[in-house]
Amino acid sequence: MYSTSPLSLPNWARSITLDNNTQALPMNRDPKSGTPFEASGCVGIGSDAAARGGLNGGAISGGGVGIKDDFSEKTAKGNWNPTDVEHMRAVKEALHVSTAPSTVVCREDEQKRILEFCRACVGQEKVGSLYVCGCPGTGKSLSMEKVKDQVMNWATNEGLQPPEVLVMNCTSLANTSEIFSKQLQKLYSNKQASSGSKMMLIIIADELDYLITRDRAVLHDLFMLTTFPFSQCILIGIANSIDLADRFLPRLQSLNCKPMVITFRAYSKDQILSILQERLLALPYIVFQQQALELCARKVAAASGDMRKALCVCRSAVEILEAELTEAASNLSLASAEGELITQQTAPALETFQSEKVRIDHMALALSKTFRSPIVDTIQSLPQHQQVAVKFFRGGKKDTTVGELSKSYIEICKSALIPPVGILEFLSMCRVLNDQGV
């Protein structure tokens, strides 16, 4: 259930009262008959409405996913106005991949294991190496950032010497050996600042697979830092390759310095949905229909489980809605300028501009744009005769002669009732397709 300002609703929807607060149920209209009906399955719950029965065992009735009971005690959400510039900016910012959430959900176990590893090394002043791996967009770097802050706070509360932390993205290095000069600078500054006690240095190397060279010397020497006498280094490498240590560093096993491995698995449908809802809860209004979020989570989980991809799809869906409303408002303005009267049938459309949500059709269009193949786009943009040629190019044999291709092309054109081009134009067409990589 939702809380919506009664001023933006039709007269028949303004009189619903829950407790002592006047609230209105969000209503949609049938696109054909214009008959109002109650919208179900949208993200967000009103405080009184949820307490009255909107929750059933911790889950929203009407097909919603489970939400913690304490959310029902918060102030009910208001209306989202997609035509409001500030509202639209806030939504896009909340869904941007660079916006770090206050809490990292669905990665509690992995964060706990990393934190325990760091605590053991810092508390006992011993060296160690950890390799964090997983597919792109599974929360590795974000979780590591949160754990880093937790380690510093823990050391301070325990009265221990807080470790120095060196965070590096290996893709930003001018050359692979530059990673060692950065470490030396950090160690030298630690020595100048320390007062006799041993200060540990945590090295966090993100995108570690960038350091893979032909002789693998840089990557090998980096992990060997934890084996030297009087070493103060705690190495944490982050990369996408799951078996990097086994494939590229087989000698580490024999030297008894093989790193501990923590794997971040791809997000499931329920996890992607939970993360999206967690981000949207920070907004004071409801933006997406529940079915739209579920479609996004299901498709992205089946394709890759990449959370960054899910956020991009949601932003694209919001932009599609924005473009749709801009076009509709432009058409209404044009009709008004031409002197046309706005009838009672078109009046509800003006009201929906102020409360439209991202629907399942917006999300479906955003998904098709995100996951479409560039090869398919290229073929669809070709002229008709070149599309016909591609049909037998991609299905024919590699050693097919030009004469055989031309014969097959003419047969297809005849079956499709399309007049074929001449042999010279056909050869030119083949060269064009070859240049385009088709």
HEC string of 292-318 equals: HHHHHHHHHHHHCCCHHHHHHHHHHHH
Domain with residue 230: its CATH number is 3.40.50.300
Report whether pLDDT(100) > 60: yes
Domain boundary among 214, 233, 264: 264
CA atoms within a 13 Å half-sphere pointing along the CA-CB vector of 15: 2
Q: What is the mean pLDDT of the chain?
A: 76
Q: Does residue 389 form part of some domain? A: yes
Q: Which domain holds residue 317?
A: 80-84+281-369
Q: Does residue 169 form part of some domain? A: yes
Report whether pLDDT(273) > 80: yes
Give the pLDDT confidence score for residue 395 in this predicted structure.
58
Average pLDDT on 290-319 reads 96
Mean pLDDT lowest among 8-17, 76-85, 294-303, 381-390: 8-17
Tens-place pLDDT, residues 214-238: 767 788 888 888 888 888 899 999 9
Structure-model confidence comparison of residues 344 and 297, the more confident one: 297
* 145 and 197 belong to one structural domain: yes
Local structure of 256: helix, strand or coil: coil
DSSP 47-71: HHHIIIIIEETTEETTTPPB--GGG
Q: Does residue 413 form part of some domain? A: yes
Structure-model confidence comparison of residues 187 and 79, the more confident one: 79
Residue 424: band (very low, low, confident or very high) from pLDDT cuts 50, 70, 90: confident
Tens-place pLDDT, residues 119-133: 999 999 899 999 999
Q: Does residue 122 form part of some domain? A: yes
Does the pTM surpass 0.75? The reply is no
Q: Does residue 11 form part of some domain? A: no
* 152 and 220 belong to one structural domain: yes
Local structure of 356: helix, strand or coil: coil
Mean pLDDT lowest among 43-47, 134-138, 193-197, 218-222: 43-47
CA atoms within a 13 Å half-sphere pointing along the CA-CB vector of 143: 23
Give the pLDDT confidence score for residue 189 in this predicted structure.
61
CA distance 429 to 212: 43
CA distance 370 to 310: 10
